[in-house]
Structure 1
Amino acid sequence: MRISHATMLALSVSFLAFPAAAQESKAPAAEPLPGEEVIVTGTRAANRTVADSPVPVDVISSQALTTGGSGETNTVLNALVPSFNFPRPSIADASDVIRPATLRGLSPDQTLVLVNGKRRHTSALLNINGTVGRGSAAVDLNTISNLAIDRIEVLRDGAASQYGSDAIAGVINIRLKTADHGGKASVTYGKYVTRMDGVREVLGLQTDAAGQPFFDPANPEFLAANLGGRPSRSDGDTWTLGMNLGVPIGQGFINVTGEYRDRDTVNRAGYDLRQNYNLVDGAFDARELTFNRLNFQYGDPKTEDWNVAVNAGMPLGANWEAYAFGTFSQRNGRSAANWRLQGSRRNRDYSVLRPSEAPSEGNFAPIYANGFLPFIASDYTDYSMAIGVRGEVGQWSVDLSGVYGRNRIDYRTENSINVSFGPTAPRNTDSGGLRFGQFTANLDVTREFAVGFAKPLTLAFGGEYRRENFQERPGQLESYAAGPYTLPARATTAAECAAADGVYAAATGLCSFPGRSAPVGQQGFEGIPAFAKVSAGFRAPSLHQQYFGATSTFLSSAAGLVNVVTTRVDSPVARALGAQPLKPEKSRNISAGLALNPFRGFSLTADFFHIRIRDRIVLTENLGFEGTGTDEQKEAIKAILDANGFNSVGAARFFINGLDTTTKGVDVVGSYQFDAGGAGRWSLSAAYNYTSNRIDKRLNNLGPLAAVPGLALFGRQEGLRFEKGQPRDKIVLSANGEIGVFGLTARTTRYGKVVAVAEAEPLDEPTSLTAYGPDDIFLQPRWLTDVEVRYTFKKHMTFSLGADNVFDVYPTRSPTGRRPDGGFYPEENSFLPYIDFSPFGFNGRYVYARFTAQF
């Protein structure tokens, strides 16, 4: 299915306006002192510095980007920019490999990303799972090697009036290197060396006098086990090799960067002490005693990346120059889904049952002898190309450019099966793919007028044309379709039902087939289905939000593994559930701040912001989720799903203009550079962010479901995730020093409290949209410290040793066992011990070594 749109943005005229379309000059300059950096983000003036910028701009230098062990641009920004949040979700389908990031607590698609001042395209992936950034398509900053970046300018202020709704939170401008000579080569190796916090080693199951395992009296959901100490883990081995090279071309330049990264799997799963096998003649299967209880894979997936960036410029006469730049990224990833127990209905061979035969433990036949863990392999390609000219026409500065970017993702589900096709169904399937392309043509015209002010008055105007297209490529039939071992109930006669070997219910006139009740879809990542329908049309909502459709499997604490369909807004089932055509979001951003430079080398900025968004586009709750909501709500939604052919799914969701929200807060950033004589040259910095997200109003347009009492399209779980699912505050303290041939970088970051909201409703107020439930997890604030030491020899070669999270800090462990109210915490808390809403992940200590040569 291919969707496209074309739109011409209105001609804009501004004084002292924002949009940035200039590249830096080709010759690299000495690193400026704080506040003296010349910026092009947040201003059209060519000589604006951070100190006199009317809006807050963070400048992240090339040195800061290449210090540390991760090598990922998003991870570096998370450590350096206080209002930037980059959690590390796991078992979240493709969001494991293409992770969204946020600025000022807003949605990932409300931060505009520029490269050399030009709009960057988003990825084709729509984040639909329960992660930060749910319901958005984000720009993947990790496709650009930090070795290619001269600096990153982060405008922490709304610019929606100039750029559109994707700049409500701010602008991130990546400026590529422009050196026409020399280069840099780097080799980095690192891995996680850690001990898991709050988890104990399982040494084996306990047995009774007959040699049989038994359930733990303290927690009867799990088998009793002999426990040891904290498990040690050594994994995630990562090699990163990169090179940057600048070459002169006449009076111009070309700067090229290539990078290769190979990262192995990180696994922080706990031990799964659930009964894995069906009973044999009433007794436990003997294999329970030898089964590998580390059956989940929970953490960073295995990935392999190739990244290339090219930046070039050439003078055209005295006052004009041509420029071009581009990037290419190829990433192969492999992440895991949830473990399927041997005795699960999702591992059942339905071909041994007659249509009228009810499934039971006695007639169970497994497809995978021990259960199975599905894997999601992703093939990811991203590229962008830009070309333009800029120069002077009289006293006017003119910049004309065109940029095309494209993102392609293909999926393959491995070690899995669609049991509705029986035991001979393929174990590995092509699950389809996503495509997103964007072309932008831009004209900027500026002129400065001396009118007697301290600074010249800048007049700017221009226009932009943007065309986008989004495509879903269907997977193979077995990846998504219902096979012969799934037959929905149908109205018929008793005689016809008997002839079909069904079970007839005289009261309803329905013929059902319990032996043909197999779950539908390739497990782990159900394939993208083929549509008969092509649609077009676009305003502010993204094409992804308008037209994405797929089915995913979720692990519900109440109902186990449940299929959830994300349906297009214009589909019949979405309309029956209350969906309406999406409207543009509207925002109002008010900010005020101050900047101080009381003496050379020191700068201090404080910025306050207040952002109101109306008709905010969000993804609804999982409506009809088995085990949640009232019986009346579930029955009403199930009736709609069944009537529209979605008999095999447990819930549905779609995009709505669902909220009016307010985001407010403050950013404070201070830095000081000084020369300490024999003690070297030092740079100290401190940054603080406070951000509050609040739902002002739920736009609960239920349509046909208005008669169902208490139903909320955007309910308690997603509402509290929106308000509490990211740190409200963050502190970053850092020191960087050079003492002769030695260097030191030390940074400590405090991440504020986060609430991970679970399904279970509040015990005393089950219909409340704001009260906490018994299974909600409160992640306490944590300090993480990174340290790197360097030794430079022969002036151009540097050897570095470092550790990220040197003190091996973990997020709050998910509680297990009996709750204070007498119930039990969700069973997945035992084998998935950390929640992926942690703003710094849950991988533990990462140690690394790096060798760098400059030439």
Structure 2
Amino acid sequence: PYGFLPLIQADDDDSNIFAGIKGAAYGWNVDLSLGWGKNSIDYNTIQSVNRSYGIFSKTAFYDGGYSYDQSTIGLDVSRGFDVGLAEPLNVAGGLQYREENYEIHPGEPASYNDGGQGGGLGAQGFGGFQPSNAADADRHNWAAYVDLEGKFTQNFSYGLAGRYEDYSDFGDQATGKLSLRYDITPQVAIRGAISNGFKAPALQQQYFSYTATNLNTTTVGGVPVTSLIQSGKFRVNDPVAISLGARPLEPETSMNYSVGAVYRFGSFQMTVDAYQIDIEDRITLSENLGSGATAADAQVRTILAPYGVSAAQFFLNGVDTTTKGVDIVAHYRMPTESYGRFDFTVAANFNDTKVTRVPTTAATTAIGASSTFLFNRANRLSYEFGQPEQKIIASVDWFKDGLGLTARATNYDSVLLPNNVATLDQNTGTATLVDLAVRY
């Protein structure tokens, strides 16, 4: 008679420890570091029931949880070498070894079991992780890098860096960066850089698995209709995901380009940099396949029926994006004899992101699914308009006799909160945050 409102309690524990030592050996600056960190989350559902147990149901359930830990050891060295150019060549390099572990712990049986009395099974609101969801995955990787910086002439500087990494689960990858700067006059300089990068698939993306009751919104006759369905998030190596075309995840790769200019006049400095970032094979979570009212959804349900699943999601590569933008920073320092030192800074970022490719699989293509079947309108617009396209920061920093004060205002452009139904889209509107900090 007083309503029904299940609550989900999350117990989040975070631990870490780091240590390091710095020194010099054989003319090199040496930095040796060790680190370990772990985060774990356990879930409980309270003020709930498992309807399938009828009057014998509990009202509080342990749902299970997951944990992730990482250990690293790194060695970094640096020194300068006289190579007969305008300045010594600065050489830095290092080695790193890292181990990772990701676990999913199942909940108590009553949080997910079918009690046999009819009704929805599992704790209502948030059913527990099942034994089939359990995971204990680990991997290790090692990396080596070298970074060179120097000047050909007093006006012409350069930077060259390279990094090689080898992962135990998917192989190796090499990245690099080249940067150049030329001072045309003491007041004006131009600069540019080109680099590539990669991002390894996270253990969580490869091994997360969960079956739950979800709210699903479809459009019937132009009207949004919301219903409850049973769906699962499956690992890419699960037969359910494979039946829909899932493949082992690959790294995301990127190319980065930038060109800019620097202007200095007395205590005033201004920089303008234009950039472009092309990312390929971004990893995304598929739509809830089989949950809609399309012909393709009906065929997916037929494919999934032997597995006792009505809808499924899985992680996959396949989203390509291009981001273009401009960064502008202006700074002016004004020292005074009586009132201290003032620093005025204005920084602005303008960017635009476009999705240039969406994912497909052989299985979804075979059933005639549309281009939005795996990656729908809301997902695409989240990539393109889910972050501010404009950000402006204005700050004033004052310092005198050990006392400092910083005032900062940050303006964010509107962000789109998209829906698969266009009329349900929302815009946050612009927002300005003001910070004030005092130090002594």
**What TM bracket, shorter-length normalisation?**
0.7 to 0.9
- After the TM superposition, which residues 522-601 of structure 1 pair with which residues of structure 2 at under 5 Å, given as runs? 522-531=123-132, 538-539=169-170, 540-557=200-217, 558-600=225-267
What is the Cα deviation at residue 788 of structure 1? 4.2
User: What amino acid maps onto 2:265 in structure 1?
Assistant: P
1:748 aligns with 2:409: yes
Structure 1 residue 657 corresponds to structure 2 residue 305: no
Distance 1:783 1:410, change over 3 A: closer
The Cα shift of 1:461 comes to 2.8
Q: What is the one-letter code of the residue matched to 2:243?
A: A
Q: After superposition, what is the alpha-carbon deviation per residue over 1:217-275, rounded to whole angstroms, capped at 9, x for unaligned?
A: xxxxxxxxxxxxxxxxxxxxxxxxxxxxxxxxxxxxxxxxxxxxxxxxxxxxxxxxxxx
Q: Is the 8 A contact 2:255 2:278 kept in 1?
A: yes
> Following superposition of structure 1 onto structure 2, how do residues 11-50 of structure 1 map, counting pairs within 5 Å?
none
The one of 395, 398, 420 equivalent to 1:759 is 420
C-alpha offsets along residues 584-623 of structure 1, whole Å, 9 cap, x if unaligned? 22221222333444324x4333332222122211111122
SS in structure 1 opposite 2:423?
coil
Deviations 1:614-660 (Å, cap 9, x if unpaired)?
221111112223xx451x1221222233321225xxx3211001212
Task: Give the whole-Å Cα distance in 2 for the aligned partners of 1:572 and 1:578.
Answer: 10
CA deviations 1:369-405 (Å, max 9, x no partner) are: 3322222211111122223333222222232322221
Match of 1:727 among 388, 391, 395: 388
Instruction: Tell me, yes or no, if the aligned pair for 2:376 and 2:420 is still in contact at 8 Å.
Output: no
Q: Equivalent residue for 1:360? A: none
User: Contact 1:636–1:708 at 8 Å: present in 2 too?
Assistant: no
1:167-211: CA deviation from partner (whole Å, max 9, x where unpaired): xxxxxxxxxxxxxxxxxxxxxxxxxxxxxxxxxxxxxxxxxxxxx
Question: Aligned match of 2:332 in 653, 662, 672?
Answer: 672
Q: Is the 8 A contact 1:431 1:474 kept in 2?
A: yes
1:424 Cα deviation from its structure 2 partner? 2.7
- Residue 623 of structure 1: SS of its match in structure 2? coil
- Of 455, 468, 471, which aligns to 2:100? 468
Partner of 1:706: 366
Q: Is contact 2:241–2:314 with CA below 8 Å preserved after alignment?
A: yes
CA distance in 2, matches of 1:521, 1:412: 12
Q: Identify if the C-alpha distance between structure 1 residues 447 and 741 changes in structure 2 by more than 3 Å, giving closer, same or farther.
A: closer
The 1:535/1:779 distance shift into structure 2, 3 A limit, reads: closer
Contact 1:576 1:704 (C-alpha < 8 Å) held by counterparts: no
* Structure 1 position 562, deviation (Å): 4.2
Residue pairs, 1:153-172, within 5 angstroms = none
Q: Distance in 1 between matches of 2:213 and 2:266?
A: 58
What does the per-residue CA deviation read over 1:121-180, in whole Å, with 9 as the maximum and x for residues that have no partner?
xxxxxxxxxxxxxxxxxxxxxxxxxxxxxxxxxxxxxxxxxxxxxxxxxxxxxxxxxxxx
- State how far apart, in whole Å, the 2-side matches of 1:681 and 1:563 are: 63
Offset at 1:573?
0.9
Q: Which residue of the partner structure matches residue 88 of structure 2?
A: 456
1:775 paired to 2:438 = no
Q: How far has the Cα of 1:718 moved from its partner?
A: 0.8
Structure with bigger strand share is: 2
Instruction: Provide the TM-score with structure 1 as the length reference.
Output: 0.41
| Correspondence 1:79-478 to 2 at 5 A | 369-478=1-110
Q: Contact (CA 8 Å) 1:524, 1:552: kept in 2 or not?
A: no
Partner Cα distance (2:339, 2:382) in 1: 47
Q: CA RMSD in A?
A: 2.8
Aligned-partner Cα distance in 2 for 1:389–1:373? 53
**Matched residue, 2:301:** 638
Q: Of the candidates 271, 282, 290, which is equivalent to residue 624 of structure 1? A: 290
Q: 1:473 to 1:536 in 2, by over 3 A?
A: same
Contact 2:254 2:277 in 1 (8 A): yes
Say if 1:375 and 1:676 are closer, same or farther in 2 by CA, change over 3 A: farther
Give the 5 Å matches for 1:782-801: 782-786=430-434, 788=436
Residue 103 of structure 2 contacts residue 135 of structure 2 at CA under 8 Å; is this kept in 1?
no
Q: Distance in 1 between matches of 2:41 and 2:136?
A: 20
Aligned equivalent of 1:603, options 255, 258, 269: 269
Q: Are positions 1:683 and 2:343 aligned together?
A: yes
Q: Deviation of residue 536 (structure 1)?
A: 6.6
Identify which of 348, 355, 369 aligns with 1:695. Answer: 355
User: What are the Cα deviations for residues 806-829 of structure 1, in whole angstroms up to 9, with x where unaligned?
Assistant: xxxxxxxxxxxxxxxxxxxxxxxx
Residue from 107, 111, 119 that aligns with 1:479:
111
Work out the CA distance in 2 between the residues paired with 1:448 and 1:744: 38
The superposition leaves residues 812-850 of structure 1 with CA deviations (integer Å, 9 ceiling, x where unpaired) of xxxxxxxxxxxxxxxxxxxxxxxxxxxxxxxxxxxxxxx
Deviation of 1:569 after TM superposition, in Å, equals: 0.9
Please say if residues 702 and 713 of structure 1, whose CA atoms lie closer than 8 Å, have aligned partners that are also in contact: no
CA displacement 1:63-106 (0-9 Å, x = unmatched): xxxxxxxxxxxxxxxxxxxxxxxxxxxxxxxxxxxxxxxxxxxx
- Report sequence identity in percent: 38
Q: Which 10-residue stretch deviates more, 733-742 or 676-685?
A: 733-742
Equivalent residues of 2:104, 2:136 under 8 A apart: no
**1:426 Cα deviation from its structure 2 partner:** 1.7
Per the TM alignment, residue 435 of structure 1 is displaced from its structure 2 partner at its CA by 1.0
Change (3 A) 1:562 1:747: farther
Judged with a 3 Å threshold, the aligned counterparts in structure 2 of structure 1 residues 464 and 421 are, in CA distance, closer, same or farther, namely: same
- Partner of 2:58, secondary structure, is coil
Question: Aligned partners of 1:415 and 1:398: how far apart in 2?
Answer: 56
Secondary structure in structure 2 of the residue aligned to 1:714: coil
Gap regions ≥5 residues in structure 1: 1-368, 486-515, 761-772, 791-797, 799-853
Q: Distance in 2 between matches of 1:787 and 1:723?
A: 28
The residue that corresponds to 1:97 in the other structure is none
Quote how far apart the aligned CAs of 1:560 are.
3.9
Give the CA deviation at 1:786: 2.1
* Matched AA of 2:76: D
Kindly tell me: are residues 423 and 672 of structure 1, through their superposed partners in 2, closer, same or farther at Cα, counting changes over 3 Å?
farther
CA displacement at 1:522 relative to structure 2: 1.9
- Closer/same/farther in 2, CA of residues 392 and 535 from structure 1, 3 Å limit: closer
> Partner of 2:127: helix, strand, or coil?
coil
Say which structure, 1 or 2, has more relative contact order (CA 8 Å, 6+ apart): 1
What are the ranges of 5 or more consecutive residues in structure 2 without an aligned counterpart? 140-168, 171-199, 218-224
Aligned to 2:145: none
- Distance in 2 of aligned mates of 1:396 and 1:736: 37
CA deviations on 1:34-64 (whole Å, 9 max, x unpaired) are xxxxxxxxxxxxxxxxxxxxxxxxxxxxxxx
In structure 1, how many angstroms separate the alpha carbons of the residues matched to 2:25 and 2:288?
A: 57
Hey, what's the Cα distance between the residues in 1 that align with 2:435 and 2:399? 14
Please state whether the residue corresponding to 1:570 is helix, strand or coil.
coil
For the Cα contact (< 8 Å) 1:569–1:581, is it kept in 2? yes
User: Structure 2-normalised TM-score?
Assistant: 0.76
Partners in 2 of 1:442 and 1:623 — Cα distance? 43
Aligned AA (1:542):
A
**1:136 corresponding residue in structure 2:** none
Once residues 740 and 441 of structure 1 are traced to their aligned partners in structure 2, the CA distance between those partners, rounded to angstroms, is 42
SS at match of 2:424: coil
Say whether the 8 Å CA contact 1:678–1:739 is kept in structure 2.
no
The amino acid across from 1:609 in the alignment is Y
Contact 2:394/2:409, CA 8 A, preserved across alignment: yes
Does the 8 A contact of 1:432 with 1:476 survive in 2? yes
Q: 1:612 aligns with which of 264, 275, 278?
A: 278
Residues 673-719 of structure 1: per-residue CA shift (max 9 Å, x gap): 32345555433221111222221112311426622332621122211
